[in-house]
Amino acid sequence: MANVTLKNVTKQFDDVVAVNEANLEIRDKEFLVLVGPSGCGKSTTLRMVAGLEEITSGEVEIGDKVVNDVPPKDRDIAMVFQNYALYPHMNVYDNMAFGLKLRKFPKKEIRQRVEEAAEILGIENLLERKPKQLSGGQRQRVALGRAIVREPKVFLMDEPLSNLDAKLRVQMRAELSKLHDRLQTTVIYVTHDQTEAMTMGDRIVVLKDGFIQQVDDPLTLYNEPVNMFVAGFIGSPAMNFLNCELKEEGSGLYLDGAESFKIKITEDIIEETPEIKDYIGKEVVFGIRPEDLHDASIKSDIEIIDENTIHAEVEVVEPMGSEIYLYLAHNDHSFIGRVDAESTADVGDNIKIGVDRSKMHVFDKETEKAIF
Ligand code: ATP
């Protein structure tokens, strides 16, 4: 079993706590992605699992064995870095075979493993070439091949695609996912790119300032972020955040954004989240993703009524082909709508925007935690 467990793992560098009391269970055969902005502790977490960084406190287990004092070479892991780290003077075959030769594997087995990995990665015809005769994508495949031949229990990957151009990155993303399906091995993958995280991860860990914010599958993370940081980090363009006040009028609760909007919270939501009533009379943050806003002048999936409408001026129009991004503003509020390509909204127009109320989020303004 190649499950990896972090128990209260902390890493301190002088006065910087890079990873703070991390608890995490990575399941056997899982593709787990660590994501977060620069400096949040992703690489340090990975390096502690690899044994390249000493652990200040806590325990790391691989396959139910505590490995804190096990040297990297004995951890049954293989790491793939962003700079590939290929030996320039060796051809592809020797680069891939190197680790096995060091470990004194029989020649025949080395050949068999290298050829098999080369076939999986589609680089059989490159085995005689030197790294400088390869493209970036091919080099990355060789780096992966070198890890695959070791047949490790766990693959650790630190931004392995970040040196590739955008198109190749998309292609390699899909290839890595296929590779994981084929190899059925545990993968821990570090990236700062939320799209990579969303498309590749079985589960995603969002980190900020050394603290784990949320661990969930991609859709849960997208639909049910636990706080404003996760809500804003996952999704592009980012979720809109609009300051407003929660007001009670009659028997209804409203998100009141002064002149700009007055959105009624549906009964379903109140029933599911009765604690929202604790916020009556208080400032809250209304969160809505750009795709959950609709140009009210065209037919949309939601019925447009006063209670789900925002009035706004169009500041910028960005046609994307299949849809249009509208940069909208009213008073102090600015937000983005991802509306249907049929929209004829133009810069300077005052338009009505319909809100899909089943997709709304409300956050506590002080703690930034999600209320719903
Ligand atoms: P990036 O995406 O930029 O690689 P990251 O999320 O991987 O960032 P880490 O490299 O894990 O972040 O760094 C976490 C924190 O620890 C940062 O504040 C960093 O400056 C600090 N740090 C990392 N390595 C060291 C070190 N060897 N000595 C001192 N501080 C370090």
From 43, 52, 159, the mutation candidate for ligand 1 (largest count of ligand atoms within 8 A of CB) is 43
Q: What is the β-pairing status of strands 57-62 and 65-66?
A: antiparallel
Q: Atom 24 of ligand 1 has which residue's CA nearest to it? A: 44
Sign of the C-alpha dihedral computed for residues 309, 312, 318 and 319 taken in this order: positive
d(CA 296, CA 304): 6
pLDDT-based confidence at 168, cuts 50/70/90?
confident
d(CA 343, CA 299): 10
**Pocket of ligand 1 contains residue 185 by CB under 6 Å:** no
**Pocket of ligand 1 contains residue 52 by CB under 6 Å:** no
For 25-50, the pLDDT digits (tens) are 999 999 999 999 999 999 999 999 99
Average pLDDT of the chain, as a whole number = 94
d(CA 303, CA 17): 50
Both tokens of residue 251? 């028997």
State the pTM of this model: 0.93
**Pocket of ligand 1 contains residue 12 by CB under 6 Å:** no
How far is the centre of ligand 1, averaged over its atoms, from the C-alpha of 371 (Å)?
Answer: 32
How far is the centre of ligand 1, averaged over its atoms, from the C-alpha of 158 (Å)?
Answer: 13
- Which residue bears the tokens 């790491």? 79
**Pocket of ligand 1 contains residue 41 by CB under 6 Å:** yes
**Pocket of ligand 1 contains residue 240 by CB under 6 Å:** no
Average pLDDT in the 218-225 region? 97
For 138-161, the pLDDT digits (tens) are 898 899 899 999 989 999 999 988
Which pLDDT does position 159 carry in this prediction? 92
Under a CB-based contact definition with an 8 Å cutoff, are residues 319 and 326 in contact? Answer: no
Ligand 1 atom with least separation from CA of 210: 14
Ligand 1 atom with least separation from CA of 47: 11
Which pLDDT does position 71 carry in this prediction? 95
Which pLDDT does position 356 carry in this prediction? 95
Which pLDDT does position 167 carry in this prediction? 86
How far is the centre of ligand 1, averaged over its atoms, from the C-alpha of 354 (Å)?
Answer: 43
**Pocket of ligand 1 contains residue 16 by CB under 6 Å:** yes
Q: How far is CA 228 from the centre of its chain?
A: 15
- Which residue bears the tokens 């795709």? 291
Q: Which residue has the higher pLDDT, 183 or 66?
A: 66
Which pLDDT does position 216 carry in this prediction? 98
**Pocket of ligand 1 contains residue 43 by CB under 6 Å:** yes
For 186-219, the pLDDT digits (tens) are 999 999 999 999 999 999 999 999 999 999 999 9
Both tokens of residue 157? 């990957």
For 278-336, the pLDDT digits (tens) are 999 999 999 999 999 999 998 777 888 888 999 999 999 999 999 999 999 988 789 99
**Pocket of ligand 1 contains residue 192 by CB under 6 Å:** yes
Which range, 110-119, 169-178, 221-230, 244-253, is most confident? Answer: 221-230
Which pLDDT does position 317 carry in this prediction? 97
